Amino acid sequence: MNEIEESNKQLLRRLTKVIVEGDLDDLAGHPGYYETRTRIPELRAGFPDMKVTVERQMAEGDLVCTHSWFEGTHTAQWLGIPATGRRVRFQNVAIDRVEDGRVVQHNAESGWLSLLMALDVLPLAVSG
């Protein structure tokens, strides 16, 4: 791995923590996080103790893939769902493109389905 790829991985580890635990203004210089900056405040409000753990990262050229786990307690309304008091854990996989130290593209797939099932909003289908 070259120095730029390692630097990009460090940047994404830091920004992944910022999304959940830091000052969202730190994302302002990263146009790839525009939509994230608009959606994260509601998630933080519903799960104020949310923490993130970066499980694994891979980098190739200007791309960084980050697999992380989010964990928190649903203590306030989120997406119209009243607080349940349930502790949840869900994963996220993101592929980010970094140019000149800035995230210019952010694509992520989060475990929203498992989160909604953990909150008992969606039933877990069991086949017989």
14-32 as b/e: b if 16+ CB within 10 A: ebbbbbbeeeeeebeebeb
Residue 126 lies in a domain: no
Residue 89 lies in a domain: yes
Give the CATH number for residue 102. 3.10.450.50
The number of domains in the chain is 1
Per-residue pLDDT of the chain (128 residues; tens, 9 = 90+): 699 999 999 999 999 999 998 899 999 999 999 999 999 999 999 999 999 999 999 999 999 999 999 999 999 999 999 999 999 999 999 999 999 999 999 999 999 999 999 999 887 666 65
Residue 127 lies in a domain: no
Q: Which two tokens stand for residue 95?
A: 């592929």
pLDDT of 19 reads 92
Predicted model pTM: 0.88
Residue 112 lies in a domain: yes
Which residues span the domain enclosing 17? Answer: 3-118
Residue 48 lies in a domain: yes
- Alpha-helical segments (H) within the chain: 3-21, 34-46, 112-118
Residue 7 lies in a domain: yes
Q: Which two tokens stand for residue 73?
A: 């307690």
Residue 123 lies in a domain: no
